[in-house]
Structure 1
Amino acid sequence: MDENFNLTKECLEKWSQDPQSKNKPAFTFIDDTSSQTWSYEELWNILNVYATNLNKVIKSANSKILIRMPHSAEYAFCFFASILADKIPIPASPELSDQEINFLLKDSTAKEIITTETKHVYDGNYNLISPERLNQSISKNELYSSKATANEPAFMVYTSGTTSKPKGVLHAHRTILGRKLMKEGWEHYQADDNVLHAGTLNWTFTLGVGLMDVWLAGGHAHLYNGSKEPNKWVEMIEQYHISIFVAVPTIYRQILKYVEISKKSLSSLRYGLCSGEPLPKEVLKEWQLKVGTNLYEALGMTELSTYISTHKNIEIKAGSPGKPQPGRKIVILPEENGTTPLQVNEVGLLASHKSDHGLMLGYWKRPEEEKEVFRGDWFIGGDTASIDEDGYIWFHGRSDEIIKSFGYRVSPVEVEAALDALDNVNESAVFGIQASENKTLIYAVVVLDNESHFLEEKIKNTLAKTLAKYKMPHAIYPISKIPRTRNGKIKRSQLKKEYGSKTDK
């Protein structure tokens, strides 16, 4: 892969130059009061202007640039233009504190920040670049032409750091080739699709599934920044004739709970896609009943994106995120060591072959951690799972979150699914707390529809009908909100700290 290859060019260039496609809408950004749309030709021209001006400011290739901006169209322009300019953008959440941003800057060695604000305090001298500076007019003979190759770095994203400090995950331009497997294995995007993604641009789920993959198919991508009331998603699906909606399962659950919906009200919707957390069986069933369309789930990770999924051409098995996407080599390996795949229904570590184009180049400046996730020719991201006789993957949780209690191994995901199925329980989180040197207890917190109706013993008695005794929570506490990372993952370590003092219950 030594020939010229650029991720942004692969997504957009051919559509922008095709007479049949260049005037088609490529991107719409919506807020609470208005929206703006760009065609493929307009979007491509904007990115070329941004990329050319960026190279006037930063001469050297592969320079790292932190993007710190509100969720906006300009955020997307800056990210994809940086890649087109052979730089390495680092998308950051606008909600990060100055302390968190300073860690990313120091760890990544980035010297430039694309930002719309100057009020923040940085520990060092950094070149602050505004989107306006990148949008200055240029002449045609100034246009920058990418010199990147497929295996060179394209962008870097930081993991959410639920168990340790965030680490940079470096992806190559070739990652877009790995993403092409998602079209037939999950998304099935078409050129006439209107796709609405509910996420924000600091998340690879949004950048990838919400933009890259839509543009690869020649479709029309929609993003939104505004009120997150559940009814707003339904209004936009209807107003913009959305054919595919993409969100975490929590958003689908909120829509079902708080909005009156019907097959007629969401008639433009072909189906929904979801990832980021397990899809509860009850949510899938209710959505199918009320809306008349399917929800296709996928399992992924920052290092590889989504690679296990359901889609319209296979049967959905409720509770399973699906099968390995065609073209990917996926096995279940023993947890301790070895490269011999486990048998059907045996629980081990989910592993992907290192030849996958979508796999990261590596962790930035973390050689020891990088060494831990490779075993022979296999990448092991830390998810525990099993594979059934039909080839479906069953997710058992993160290996570092599995609760080892009284000699048993308990998946918090399984217990959460049982809790979430109960009346009056909106959502739950399960975690283990070490009560003594040889004793770990299972704890749960639940968000209730009506907290005044909380009866711990009643919940336990109902759970006992579906869970083995060793999986039962030792204690259950009501909570107003489950603590989550900005990407929606449960902060189990925070819950362990907060409830650790209650182990005497």
Structure 2
Amino acid sequence: MIDPVPARFNLARYCIADHARAQPGKTAIVIVGDEGEQSWSYAALDRDVRVLAAGFRALGLAPGARVMIRMGNEAGAVLSYFAAIAAGYVALLASSQLTAEEAAFLLDDCGAAALALGRDFENEAHERAGVAVLRGDDLARLLQGAPLEHYADTDADDPAYLVYTSGTTSRPKGVLHAQRAAWARRPMYAHWQGLTAADVMLHAGAMNWTYTLGVGVVDPLANGASAVLYNGRPDPAVWPRLVERHRATIFAAVPGVYRQILKYAALETHDLSSLRHGLTAGAALSPSLLEEWRARAKTELYEAFGMSEISTFISSAPTVPVRPGSPGRPQPGRIVAALPREEGTEPLGVGETGVLAVHRDEPGLMLRYWNRPEEEKEAFRGDWFVSGDLVAFDADGYMWHHGRADEVMNALGYRVSPAEVEKCLLAHPLVADAAVAERAGRDDQTIIRAYVILREEARLGEEDMLAHCAAHLAAYKRPRQVVFLEALPRNRNGKLMRSALP
């Protein structure tokens, strides 16, 4: 069972305050870049978070106001995220890969009262009535003030943060999480991560991704461990160097990063003796990649499965032996089942394939979708939150994934709505019709392929189409290939037959 959540609970206080008192000088976070490192002890992190929280309060924001953070893997992102929650506001750490157009949609959709911009976005114009736009100088000025005396005395069910995810519609939807979401992560510590206060966690992801934010920041801090993040130029060889330099004990990444390390990083030339094991999530870990990593890195990889609405809840771990091809078993205390595909709330038996569902009593489950009551209603079947994943559980409780029941794509580890990409393609004046599908790429990865029907006598090449997508879509949403067709496969009712796309 998961321990009962304290009635009064603040996510930022849970991660920082007690450790700042008990071990003030211990390293909490290190951010490594091309120009050096920045680090915070727990005492320094506690002070800066409370100072910035007081600065946010001084803006006169209403209780529960949304604070949108548009930054890369930089110090301001960590401080702003925890400071917003410490002040009693709702933090939205937006993906740095979003275009200005996509970021503007999030800003309007969540109704943010404040927007904190990182160094790569300071020239963007997001001025709106009622929105306090904070650039680098503004944040630096706020950090010169006096600290907030106490973290906000929030209820465990009060909103803490928003994340945006793709669904089956043409626009992203906000997933609102409660303060208790951090407490609900406790089964992951032993039953996925093997995480203790003595660990140094190195995460290879972008901080605004829930996988990185949770595993790379929130979980190490909640345990009094140390977190190492990187914001320099992309380079597969940097990860074994950072493991060696910082004596990282746990490394977390998507399978694609492990594949790149094995291919380009001269793994055997580095001292990886500190590394106990690696963690992987975001995409399926192929048995062949697992086997090669074991042989060359001499450590185990523990996989996990999750979603934005609940985070990771199925995993292998030091306590759960790896079964290649399966992400593992439900963590202790999780109420998880496979339900019939179309309707019904009675869990299926061993080996039967159905849709993955999580019970409403799960403390890590989202509060709701932001301003999407109809989509929220569709997501629940009785007391079960139903995902779009088709799964079966074997006699030992291991989950086996059998694809999606809906059309949501999972290319390169990101959930992407076909409708959102197709909307972008159809906005091009020379495109008459378009569709996208997830297709096999290189090295066991999948990519998004676009299928385009041009208007009569129109002339357009693949590079033109890809450039159009680059102007309007985040990198992870963009097609990697474009196929021009005379017609799209549709049934007699005109519905697109996505599986029939070449």
Instruction: Return the TM-score normalized by structure 2.
Output: 0.80
Match of 1:286 among 292, 295, 300: 292
**133 and 381 in structure 1: CA distance in 2 versus 1, 3 angstrom threshold:** farther
1:127 and 2:132 are equivalent in the alignment: yes
Relative to structure 1, the CA distance from residue 487 to residue 150 in structure 2 (aligned partners, 3 Å threshold; closer, same or farther) is: farther
Asked if structure 1 preserves the Cα contact closer than 8 Å seen for 2:164 and 2:172, the reply is yes
Q: Aligned pair in 2 of structure 1 residues 500, 166: CA closer, same or farther (>3 Å)? A: farther
Q: Please report how far the alpha carbon of residue 495 of structure 1 lies from its aligned counterpart in structure 2 after TM superposition.
A: 7.2
What do the CA deviations read for 1:82-123 (whole angstroms, capped 9, x no partner)? 000000111112332221112112211112111145421237
- The alpha carbon displacement at 1:8 in A equals 0.6
Shift of 1:158: 0.7
How much has 1:234 moved relative to structure 2? 1.1
> 2 CA distance for matches of 1:328 and 1:87?
28
Structure 1 residue 382: Cα displacement: 1.4
Structure 2: distance between partners of 1:43 and 1:29:
13
Q: Find the counterpart in structure 2 of residue 394 from structure 1.
A: 400
Please, which of 31, 39, 50 is the counterpart of residue 41 of structure 2? 39
Task: Specify which of 16, 22, 25 is matched with residue 24 of structure 2.
Answer: 22
> CA offset at residue 446 of structure 1?
3.1
Q: CA RMSD in A?
A: 3.0
Deviation at 1:7, TM superposition (A): 0.4
Taking a change above 3 Å as real, the CA distance of residues 284 and 49 of structure 1, as seen in their structure-2 partners, is: same
Q: Determine if contact 1:275/1:299 at 8 Å carries over to the other structure.
A: yes
The residue aligned with 1:464 is none
Contact 2:168 2:407 in 1 (8 A): no
Q: Please list, as runs of the form range in 1=range in 2, the aligned pairs for 1:288-327 lying within 5 A after superposition.
A: 288-327=294-333
1:45-444 alignment, distance < 5 Å: 45-116=47-118, 117-122=121-126, 124-125=128-129, 126-129=131-134, 130-138=138-146, 143-160=149-166, 164-262=170-268, 265-401=271-407, 444=439
Q: Could you tell me which runs of 5 or more consecutive residues in structure 1 were left unpaired when the two chains were aligned.
A: 403-411, 418-428, 432-439, 450-480
Q: Distance in 2 between matches of 1:2 and 1:194?
A: 27
Provide the identity percentage: 39
The aligned amino acid for 1:335 is R
Measure the CA separation in 1 of the matches of 2:259 and 2:200: 22
Query: Residues 340, 7 of structure 1: CA spacing in aligned structure 2 closer, same or farther, 3 A cutoff?
Result: same
1:145 and 1:281 map into 2 onto residues whose CA distance is 45
CA displacement at 1:442 relative to structure 2: 9.4
- Given that 1:263 and 1:291 are in contact with CA atoms closer than 8 Å, whether structure 2 keeps it comes out as no
Distance 1:163 1:237, change over 3 A: farther
- Mapped to 2, the partners of 1:33 and 1:161 lie a distance apart of 38
- Give the match's secondary structure for 1:447: coil
CA distance in 2, matches of 1:278, 1:98: 31
- 1:12 corresponds to: 16
Partners of 1:56 and 1:238 lie apart in 2 by 43
Cα gap change, 1:69 to 1:396, in 2 (>3 Å): same
1:203 touches 1:487 (CA, 8 Å); kept in 2? no
Paired residues of 1:156 and 1:168 also in contact (CA < 8 A):
yes
Inter-partner Cα distance in structure 2 for 1:486 and 1:39: 34
- Quote the Cα distance in structure 2 between the aligned partners of 1:347 and 1:310: 20
- What amino acid is the match of 1:239? R
CA separation in 2, counterparts of 1:212 and 1:371? 30
Residues 404-441 of structure 1: CA deviation (Å, up to 9, x unaligned): xxxxxxxx99xx99xxxxxxxxxxx9x9xxxxxxxx99
Segments of structure 2 that go 5 or more residues without pairing to the other structure are: 419-434, 445-465, 490-501
Q: Output the CA distance in 2 between the equivalents of 1:346 and 1:119.
A: 54
3-state secondary structure, aligned to 1:256: helix
Letter of the structure 1 residue corresponding to residue 286 of structure 2: P
Q: Is the 8 A contact 2:97 2:475 kept in 1?
A: no
CA apart distance, 1:192: 1.2
Q: Tell me which amino acid in the other structure corresponds to 2:101.
A: Q
Q: Is the 8 A contact 2:173 2:370 kept in 1?
A: yes
TM-score by length of 1: 0.80
Alpha-carbon distance, 1:347 to partner: 1.1
Q: What is the identity, as a one-letter code, of the residue corresponding to 2:12?
A: T
Q: Which residue of 2 aligns with 1:447?
A: 442
Measured in 1, the distance between the counterparts of 2:163 and 2:475 equals 12
Paired with 2:216 and 2:277, the residues of 1 have a C-alpha distance of 15
Displacement after TM superposition at 1:201 (Å): 1.7
Cα distance in structure 2, aligned partners of 1:248 and 1:163: 26
- In the aligned structure 2, how far is the partner of 1:443 from the partner of 1:225? 29
Q: Which has the higher contact order (CA 8 A, sep 6+)?
A: 2
| 2:358 counterpart SS class | strand
Task: Indicate how the Cα distance of structure 1 residues 37 and 2 shifts in structure 2: closer, same or farther if over 3 A, else same.
Answer: closer
Residues 102 and 340 (structure 1), Cα distance of their counterparts in 2 relative to 1, 3 Å cut: same
Counterparts of 1:443 and 1:203, CA distance in 2 = 21
Given that 2:316 and 2:322 are in contact with CA atoms closer than 8 Å, whether structure 1 keeps it comes out as yes
Contact 2:98–2:475 (CA under 8 A) maintained in structure 1: no
Decide which moves more: 235-244 or 143-152. 143-152
The offset of 1:286, in angstroms, is 0.3
Deviation string 1:373-430 (CA, Å, 9 cap, x unpaired) is 111111112111111111100112222139xxxxxxxxx99xx99xxxxxxxxxxx9x
* Aligned-residue offset at 1:73: 1.3
Worse-superposed segment, 373-382 or 245-254: 373-382
Relative to structure 1, the CA distance from residue 499 to residue 240 in structure 2 (aligned partners, 3 Å threshold; closer, same or farther) is farther
- Counterpart CA distance in 2 for 1:183 and 1:91 is 23
Q: How big is the shift at 1:499?
A: 5.9
Q: CA deviation at 1:162?
A: 7.2
Deviation at 1:317, TM superposition (A): 0.8
Q: Cα distance, 1:17 vs. partner?
A: 0.7
Which string of whole-angstrom CA distances, capped at 9 and with x for unpartnered residues, describes residues 226-258 of structure 1? 122111111111111111000000000111111
Equivalent position SS for 1:174:
helix
The one-letter amino acid paired with 1:15 is H
Aligned equivalents of 1:339, 1:495: Cα separation in 2: 39
Count residues with an aligned counterpart.
Answer: 436
Contact 2:72 2:206 in 1 (8 A): no
How far did residue 315 of structure 1 move?
1.8
Q: The residue matched to 2:163 in structure 1 has which SS?
A: strand
Deviation at 1:448, TM superposition (A): 7.6
Partners of 2:302 and 2:316 within 8 A in 1: yes
Change (3 A) 1:367 1:256: same
In structure 1, distance between residues paired with 2:269 and 2:366: 40
Residue by residue, what CA displacement relative to the aligned partner does 1:270-298 show, whole Å, maximum 9, x if unpaired?
A: 00001000001111000001111100000
| Higher mean displacement: 158-167 or 494-503 | 494-503
